[in-house]
Structure 1
Amino acid sequence: MSIAYLNGAFLPLAETRVSVLDRGFLFADGIYEVTAVIEGRLVDSASHLARLERSAAAIGLTLPLPSAQIEAVQRELATRNDLEEGLIYLQLTRGADVSRDFLPSPDLQPTLVMFVQAKRFLDSPAARTGIAVVTTPDLRWTRRDIKSVGLLAQAMAKQIAVHAGAQEAWMVEDGFVTEGASSTAFLVTEHGVVTRPYSQAVLAGCTGAALTALAEERGIMVEHRPFTVDEALGASEAFITSASTLCQSVVSIDGRQIGDGAPGPMATRLRELYIDFAIKTAV
């Protein structure tokens, strides 16, 4: 039986209850985080907690617990669920109001919920074969740096990908790739690795940031700039990063093969580096 955390209590996930008047449900007035767990420990936890704090501050929401206590709860969840490999999902909303109104009542108590998902990503089949990506217009709002629970556009993009026989969608704005529906987009050129710089136009990916730092430490040049779909189609390699996929090769975009149609040496090497980093630094 999966154990979750809700507003100070550990209880079976099936027994968790959140009010229908919760502003996360009614207005998507909330934020979330997803942290990977490897060997029962949290991967890159400090980066995820820092991003949680940034997202909360951006919408004027105070964390109900100090970051160190949130981390302790996540570790306890991993222990109680015997989670060796998988994810911990955290969602924080402004809380349940007395009625539905665009303006929240003052002094609402936020809703904080966390639960676990077992998932294989160290030795996943997709890591060995690579994935297919399709492109789709980016329909989201302009504050994409906030990890908002308002994920309708991303869910629609994922559906487009599945209907096209792909595993991820790259969203495109003004001819340039912004990011994946649930990942950061990268390509490889003769000069090194290219990924979009962080701004309000994209989410600052924790896995992507750690991976680019690892690359630069080893003398691999990383260009932080936008790139077009055409440039991606002509790249020697492409890949994505996220907490749930780590580093995963993209072997086709819109049905067109990238490189030789198999995971390339750069993405393979960076995946190895990231996994080594994740295991050594997990808490």
Structure 2
Amino acid sequence: MSRIVYVNGAYVPEEEATVSVFDRGFLFADAVYEVTAVLDGKIVDYPGHVARLERSLGELQMGMPFSSDDLLEVHRELVRRNSMDEGAIYLQVTRGAADRDFAFPKHAEQTVVLFTQAKPLTGAKKGIRVISLPDMRWGRRDIKTVQLLAPSMAKMAAKAEGKDDAWLVQNGFVTEGTSNNAYIVTREGKIVTRNLSSSILHGITRAAVLKLAAERGMEVEERPFTIEEAQQAAEAFVTAATTFVCPVIEIDGVAISGGKPGPVAERLNELYIETGRKSAL
């Protein structure tokens, strides 16, 4: 059975979902997106995602196509129509369709697309193996645009080496993973992750996990770190909307935490799922 997707105000079977060939999201990657997790048929961390969506749109001189409440109802309707208990909802907003021109139109009608992806999110995590690669992305990584070719190629480079993902490096320091924020846990037990700037995405899961860590007395330091420091760390992990807290057990061939998930990452993942279930909308 095909999914029901949302396209510009209509709920339609995925086979019937279309957008214009002149859409600027297609021609220029002139679009932003969000991915929200679904647990028990409810939307996780929705307020953070909608706030970041509004910020991303504003940075590209676009407005919000919906109110927060109306957009939440679209998410809920997709969950209902697709009978989804666990998985993700992908949302994309483009500037709209116009004849191809680098100068964008001021008042084009935006294109809005949402669809579900049913998949397990809460199972046990064996941990991932990563390689390091130069960060070739554009400079405004704090805006969640659909310009994802560089991280896609980095992910494929990792797959070609039999690994799971890549950590991206700029000026000698890790920025983030291809689709996640990166962390280490020092031998002293301190959680270290890169500070917020235009160099990384301001992760919604990142914010929630750091809050949970601080509430439980875990020491957190927001600063850049190197691959070498990560290889000497007690643990490493990543966070993202649909991976939650996922251990990293190898970096450039060096085993981390004995090549198995560490206790800090496992505990934070448990806490995030527990809290997410309680606060989901």
Q: Which TM-score tier does this pair reach, normalised by the shorter chain?
A: over 0.9
**1 CA distance for matches of 2:79 and 2:196?**
31
Q: What residue is the counterpart of 1:136 in the other structure?
A: 133
Q: Deviations over 1:26-82 (max 9, x none)?
A: 000010000000000000000000000110000000111112111110011011101
Q: What residue is the counterpart of 1:276 in the other structure?
A: 274
User: Could you say what secondary structure the match of 1:214 adopts?
Assistant: helix
Equivalent of residue 247 in structure 1, options 245, 248, 255: 245
User: Could you say what secondary structure the match of 1:260 adopts?
Assistant: helix
1:96 maps onto 2:97 in alignment: yes
**2 CA distance for matches of 1:169 and 1:20?**
32
- How far the C-alpha of 1:191 sits from its partner, in A, is 3.9
- Which amino acid counterpart does residue 117 of structure 2 have in structure 1? Q
Equivalent of residue 201 in structure 1, options 195, 199, 202: 199
Q: Deviations over 1:207-241 (max 9, x none)?
A: 11100100000000110000000000000000000
- How far the C-alpha of 1:165 sits from its partner, in A, is 1.1
**2 CA distance for matches of 1:41 and 1:257?**
37
- How far the C-alpha of 1:14 sits from its partner, in A, is 1.3
Aligned residues: 279
1:183 maps onto 2:161 in alignment: no
Q: What residue is the counterpart of 1:267 in the other structure?
A: 265
- After TM superposition, the structure 1 = structure 2 runs for residues 1-283 of structure 1, keeping only pairs within 5 Å, are 1-97=2-98, 99-124=99-124, 127=125, 129-189=126-186, 190-283=188-281
* CA-based RMSD: 0.8
**2 CA distance for matches of 1:281 and 1:147?**
24
- Which amino acid counterpart does residue 279 of structure 2 have in structure 1? T
- How far the C-alpha of 1:104 sits from its partner, in A, is 2.1
- How far the C-alpha of 1:142 sits from its partner, in A, is 0.7
**2 CA distance for matches of 1:266 and 1:63?**
38
The structure 1 segments of at least 4 consecutive aligned residues displaced by more than 4 Å after TM superposition are none
User: Could you say what secondary structure the match of 2:257 adopts?
Assistant: coil
Query: Among the aligned pairs, what percent are the same residue?
Result: 51
Q: Deviations over 1:73-104 (max 9, x none)?
A: 0011011101100000000000011x110112
Q: Deviations over 1:95-122 (max 9, x none)?
A: 011x110112331000000000011120
Where does structure 2 lack aligned partners over 5 or more consecutive residues?
none
- How far the C-alpha of 1:166 sits from its partner, in A, is 1.2
Where does structure 1 lack aligned partners over 5 or more consecutive residues?
none
**2 CA distance for matches of 1:38 and 1:274?**
12
**2 CA distance for matches of 1:191 and 1:73?**
42
Taking structure 2 as the reference length, what is the TM-score of the superposition? Answer: 0.98
- How far the C-alpha of 1:167 sits from its partner, in A, is 1.2
User: Could you say what secondary structure the match of 1:171 adopts?
Assistant: strand
- How far the C-alpha of 1:164 sits from its partner, in A, is 1.2
Moved more, 65-74 or 40-49: 65-74
**2 CA distance for matches of 1:28 and 1:58?**
14
- Which amino acid counterpart does residue 14 of structure 1 have in structure 2? E
